[in-house]
Amino acid sequence: MAATTTAIALTLSSFTLRSTIPSKTFFFPKPSKPISLRRTFRPLSLTPQAKSSDIDTSFFDDVNPEEDIVFDPPTPPEGFTPPPSFDEGPEETEDEIAAAYEELYGPAYSGVSVLGNDVYVMDSKVKKSSAFGKVKKEKVRDGFEERVVQVRRVTKVVKGGKQLHFRAIVVVGDKQGQVGVGVGKAKEVIGAVQKSAVNARRNIITIPMTKYLTFPHRSEGDYGAAKVMLRPAAPGTGVIAGGALRLLLCRK
């Protein structure tokens, strides 16, 4: 079932050629799978987060090092004196440094407060774990629904015997075309399911869907011995699929 899920993920990611989101190749254990799916492996440095920030790195992205690069600095303003290097210049006392940092960032984790701010300001960020059992985690976070595809008990044999863990595979999606698959292992089923949900939220793929919430075209994917074929059908047909695929498509 794990292979099927990976094959499904490969198929779904073949749709992402249309969109500009790079496929998350590091999830798949064997990234050198058949290129018959025409999937491009974008370097991870092109993750969307870096581009959506307002730091303008256009010069460094477009520069072609083979060409001739000239260095013509603008003229210095009149009366320009080079500022002192960080080594020279007056030595600052610790208090001055602490005050300057605190002005910029607040007392944070320094333990001392020169400007009179509350030293324990970062405590509110810590989630207080209650004394009785686990804290009830919020069930519905950011609109994603989770479906457990498989829970399996896996064993590691050590000198003392067998160590048992549970491995959970979970599919996470918002039914609008965003899906993610995640794997997590823990000593208890619930912990494993939570870990895999966290993992799934990290690798999310956006699938372009048509007006009737179906695929744009037929596609196939395979991983190991599992082969998956997805094809769109006319509205009213329903979902004809079994196993992992059904869980993915029915409630996606």
Q: Which stretch binds other proteins (CB under 8 A): 97-105, 167-175, 192-200, 240-248?
A: 97-105
Contact 119, 107 (CB under 8 A): yes
Using left for φ > 0, alpha for ψ between -120 and 50, and beta otherwise, residue 218 falls in beta
Asked if 59 is part of the footprint of other proteins (rule: CB under 8 A), the reply reads yes
Question: How far, in Å, CA of 140 to CA of 138, rounded?
Answer: 6
Q: For other proteins, which residue of 36, 47, 155, 176 counts as binding (CB under 8 A)?
A: 47
What is the smallest separation between the CB atom of 13 and other proteins, expressed in angstroms? Answer: 19
Residues 106-135 touching other proteins, rule: CB under 8 A, are: 106, 108-112, 119, 122-123, 125-126
Alpha-carbon gap, residue 189 to 167, rounded angstroms = 8
For the chain, give the number of residues.
252
What is the smallest separation between the CB atom of 17 and other proteins, expressed in angstroms? 22
Measured in degrees and rounded to the nearest 5, phi and psi for residue 203 equal -115, 90
Give the containing element (helix H, strand E) for 223. strand 219-223
* 28 and 34 Cβ atoms separated by less than 8 Å: no
Task: For residue 242, give the 3-state DSSP assignment.
Answer: coil
CB 115 → other proteins: shortest distance, Å?
Answer: 13
To the nearest whole angstrom, how small is the minimum distance from the Cβ of residue 102 to other proteins? 8
- Single out the segment in contact with other proteins by CB under 8 A; choices: 28-36, 49-57, 208-216, 234-242: 49-57
Q: Which residues bind other proteins (CB under 8 A)?
A: 43-45, 47-50, 53-57, 59-60, 65-66, 69-71, 73-77, 80, 82-83, 85-87, 89, 92, 97, 100-102, 104-106, 108-112, 119, 122-123, 125-126
